[in-house]
Structure 1
Amino acid sequence: MPTPFFAAGSAGFTAWSLDPTCCQARPIAMTPTEVTKIQFAGPGRVQVVTEPMEFVLAPDEVLLQTRFSLVSTGTETAKLTGLQEVTYPFDTGNRACGTVVACGSDVRNIRVGDVGFSYTPHWSRAPARRLFVKAPREVPQLHVPFAGMASVGMTALRVGQVELGDQVVVVGLGLVGILTAQLCRIAGAHTVGVDMKPSRLRLAKACNLPDPIDANLPDVKARILEATAGREPDVVIEASGTPEGAIQALQLTGSQGEGNVVLLGSPRRSLDTDVTPLLNRVHLWRGGSVNLLGAHEWRYPLHRDPFHKHSIERNIEVVFQLMAEQRLCLEPLISHVAPPERAPEVFADLIDQPDTMVAALFDWTATDHRPG
């Protein structure tokens, strides 16, 4: 497993290695360089701008030349359409693969030329102020940004306490749902996926998730029990990010004993319904006993520290190890790889073709020649 690169501290990255050969031992003042950015100019309006920027790295920062960045479809399209309020113009994106081109004086265990994951926007160059995790050489650079999305799914396993031999159902087979289902299978759980879109059911099969179930059928729970030899799921993970998905998840476990329902997706629209039956599913021992658990990615610390077993940093390291061992199926998930200039077209497709668009990446490799 990759070694840790940054430890927890009061200001983002904190060195815990004293190797003086890692990076230059002084703050880095970069000469102005042209940076290309993908922005939301307003509701439904995507623009690509290039402007000169001067980066002055703090001692605990690294500067990255972006290789590939992945669209977080649900979050970014919500901000583009106005479903989630932001201030325009908005610099979008937060999961990328980048090559280190400069390091602050306090950074250790990272060298210029290292490639890894960061929570940086869709920029040709960007400072990694929160986290940079070096990727193993065996992991293709195109796959590196997926570590951030798989880390979202990892949170559901941690919170839901998925264990070897568990029966798990994942509701919603988009990018996060399929990655989560794969992680559950790797953890030794018998995993069944549920979705209402035929294209997503086919995609799940392409990612080695056998026999996903059509959520449109009237007997979804009966089909799940058939697949689990009559045993109710121990854990149901709601990954669709819809209120309807959460309601369905609550109906799929708990009537034979205790069950965990993990809310992984982030609902962004309202639904008028009677919540009393749902509350009884949580509260009553007869036909209920459901534990309703929230699993937002940021509930865990960003960095490793001595007082927390889990962190986002550790989750990404685990995902990278799985990628290096080729245990995660990613290629079928890639719908688009496009240069940043095509960003308006890519986002239009993500909004207009949600059934067929799953993972879209921007290829920034053509910008590598720009001086820093």
Structure 2
Amino acid sequence: MKIESRKIVFTKNHDITLEKEVKELTIQNGNEVIIKNHCTHISLGTEMACLAGLESWFPLPGTPGYTSIGEVIEIGSDVSGIKAGDLVYTMGPHSGYFKIHSGDRWSGLCVKVPEKLSPELASFTHMAGIAMTSIRKSQIEIGDYVLVAGLGAIGNLAAQLAVLQGAKVIAVDLEEKRLDIARKCNIPLCINSSEENIIGKIKELTGGKGINTFIDATGMSSVINRYGETLATNGEIILLGSPRSPFETNLTAFLKYFHYLPYLASLKGALEFAYPTYENDFVKHSIERNSKIIMDLFLNKKLILNGIYSHKITPEEAPDVYRKLNSNKMSILE
């Protein structure tokens, strides 16, 4: 069937347009699903990197976006668990209509949204799913001290999930607005990272024992390097943010955190796709299972989105919003 649609296009570095298109969408495979978008979600870190041409997997020109809440229009004969008319969460793009292959490892996830959960709140499932990867990869236990650096949406949600895990969470960021939002999300120990002797203050808050788990949600190598000194013996560093910018340092000094006393730390990557996409009987954790758990947490108000959910915009407004974010990521909170 022919469908009139619109999509966001990153045409070249730092250039954004909203384009109309007529596309042919038909089910050609038993695992395919055609979806009409209701709302999508801007992923600030990843999409700004795509817009700047920093992601090799995203060629320009291209349509960004990997979080969609949409209505199922048609399904293939082999698709189960959903039907036409259902509202589903997928990793779909900023496009009015699109088609997925429900068995695809990278973009085929398709999870039914609970009836009482609004599409807008459900659209945060991917951000929270990325955040949950840091918790899954960690060894956080009740009473552990957890440091989270970077309180954008993903860092904030990681901190909230660590609290739900029973941890004593210390959250740091340079932006007071983000710290204020974090406090409203029941993260009480929020510190501006520009404070003098921030390392000493963190150690003091742990009674001198140090941090058991340090989750970096900034993706900045300098930040990862900075907070190694706060680690307790046998602590761990979790790379939740994706390091992208060059950083020069003394690697030998950094490696002391992993080889020498008093640290003996471990370093773990928390890329979402470290886990299988789909549930199966032989693996406990998967992106699909995490997504279902997260939507249940949203539904039962265990994860707080006040302040994280800052704006709702139309497709027509999107190019200007992207340009504003591209010039100043914090501008959306002003």
TMscore range, shorter length: over 0.9
- Provide TM-score, normalisation by structure 2: 0.93
Cα deviation, 1:178-226, whole Å, max 9, x if unaligned, reads 0100111111111110112222212211222113011112322222233
Cα deviation, 1:316-340, whole Å, max 9, x if unaligned, reads 1110110110111113112321111
The counterpart of 2:137, out of the listed 148, 159, 167, is: 159
Query: Which protein, 1 or 2, shows the higher relative CO under an 8 Å CA cutoff with sep ≥ 6?
Result: 1
- Give the percent of matched residue pairs that are identical in Structure 1 and Structure 2: 33
The counterpart of 1:124, out of the listed 96, 103, 114, is: 96
CA contact (8 A) 1:336 1:346 kept: no
Aligned 1:279-294 pairs, distance under 5 A: 279-284=255-260, 286-294=261-269
Alpha-carbon distance between aligned partners in 2 of 1:331 and 1:199, rounded to the nearest angstrom: 13
Alpha-carbon distance between aligned partners in 2 of 1:190 and 1:321, rounded to the nearest angstrom: 23
Aligned 1:102-117 pairs, distance under 5 A: 102-117=74-89
Residue 49 of structure 1 aligns with which residue?
Answer: 19
Residue 306 of structure 2 aligns with which residue?
Answer: 331
Q: 1:116 to 1:164 in 2, by over 3 A?
A: farther
The counterpart of 1:138, out of the listed 107, 111, 116, is: 116
The SS at the match of 1:200 is helix
Alpha-carbon distance between aligned partners in 1 of 2:306 and 2:97, rounded to the nearest angstrom: 26
Cα deviation, 1:251-306, whole Å, max 9, x if unaligned, reads 2203xx1101101110111011112111011111x232111111111110000122
The SS at the match of 1:83 is coil
Alpha-carbon distance between aligned partners in 2 of 1:40 and 1:327, rounded to the nearest angstrom: 36
The SS at the match of 1:128 is strand
Between Structure 1 and Structure 2, how many residues are aligned? 325
CA contact (8 A) 2:146 2:213 kept: yes
- Letter in structure 2 aligned against 1:68: C
What is the root-mean-square deviation in Å for CA atoms of aligned residues? 1.4
Residue 190 of structure 1 aligns with which residue?
Answer: 168
Aligned 1:52-91 pairs, distance under 5 A: 52-57=22-27, 58-85=29-56, 86-91=58-63
CA contact (8 A) 1:103 1:112 kept: yes
- Tell me whether 47-56 or 197-206 shows the greater mean CA deviation: 197-206
The SS at the match of 1:121 is coil
- Provide TM-score, normalisation by structure 1: 0.84
Aligned 1:138-287 pairs, distance under 5 A: 138-254=116-232, 257-284=233-260, 286-287=261-262
Superposition deviation, residue 356 in structure 1: 4.2
- Tell me whether 43-52 or 57-66 shows the greater mean CA deviation: 57-66
Alpha-carbon distance between aligned partners in 2 of 1:356 and 1:164, rounded to the nearest angstrom: 37
CA contact (8 A) 2:34 2:98 kept: yes
Cα deviation, 1:86-136, whole Å, max 9, x if unaligned, reads 422111101111111111111112121211210000011112321111111
Cα deviation, 1:151-201, whole Å, max 9, x if unaligned, reads 111110111122222211101111100010011111111111011222221
Alpha-carbon distance between aligned partners in 2 of 1:106 and 1:347, rounded to the nearest angstrom: 38
Alpha-carbon distance between aligned partners in 2 of 1:79 and 1:55, rounded to the nearest angstrom: 26
4+ residue runs over 6 A deviation: none
The SS at the match of 2:171 is strand
- Letter in structure 1 aligned against 2:312: V
CA contact (8 A) 1:119 1:128 kept: no
The SS at the match of 2:312 is strand
CA contact (8 A) 1:40 1:80 kept: yes
Give the unaligned 5+ runs of structure 1: 1-30, 359-372
The counterpart of 2:330, out of the listed 355, 359, 362, is: 355
